[in-house]
Copies of this chain bind each other. A is one copy, B any other.
Amino acid sequence: MTTNPAPIRVAIVEDHADFRDGLRLMLSSSQRLTIVGAFPSVEASMRDFPECDVLLLDINLPGRSGIESIPVYKRQSAAMQIVMLTGLDDDESIFNAILAGADGYLLKKTPPARVLAAVEDAAEGGTPMTPYVARRVIEHFKSTSPAKTEYQLSDREREILSALVKGLDNRQIADTLFISYETVRNHLKHIYEKLHVNSRTQAVSKAITERIV
């Protein structure tokens, strides 16, 4: 956002020569970027990998896949931001890339101006993604963060329940909460009733998967 900052050094790993060259041309039209390398494969890039700020990385590559290579690149340069630029829009590819440490995820149909903006966003510490990808991530996010049903547990009961989840036995729970062993068992009975379960295993399972704790 300052005037005339240091240019962002960008590298590209993409096997299709046409797309790679188009990308290079397009990106070098910006004053803010410098293309420091463009390679057809991970292996080729590794032979003499240039220092850079942002790496545009394809997934479908001959030899080593882009996703597998993320950790390798990150080990080489932890500060480098890796933005996936790929045609693959399935959940599997998206999540694996993100979990592997990708800092952005663009689909190839993204218009040039957006790719340019994305590179800048990534360099500034953001995580650019195309709206479709964002939707996939959010959906997955929501599906694992469940509409929590209400079991009307009292505060004390929730406290006991989270001790259960920690793996404490009744004696330990009693000691940490400064109440008697028998009282803990009574609370547990009530918890089981409210959760409609009949063992601590089931209670723990339900507590975690339904985010009650």
A→B interface (CB under 8 Å) = 98-99, 103-104, 114, 117-118, 121-122, 124-132, 134-135, 137-138, 140-142, 144-146, 164-167, 169, 197, 199-202, 204-206, 208-209
Copies in the assembly, this chain? 2
Interface of A is mostly: helix
Whether A199 and B167, one on each chain, are in contact in the complex, defined by CB atoms closer than 8 angstroms, is yes
Please report the C-alpha to C-alpha distance between residue A164 and residue B204 in the assembled complex, in whole angstroms. 11
Closest to A131 in B: B126
Contacts of A204 in B (CB 8 A): 201, 204-205, 208
Identify which of B98, B132, B167 contacts A142 (C-beta below 8 A): B98
**Bound Cα distance A130, B128 (Å):** 7
The docked-state distance in angstroms from the alpha carbon of A104 to that of B129 is: 12
Q: Name which of A128, A129, A130 has the most chain B CB atoms within 10 A of its CB.
A: A129
* Among candidates B128, B131, B165, B206, residue contacting A122 with C-beta atoms closer than 8 Å: B131
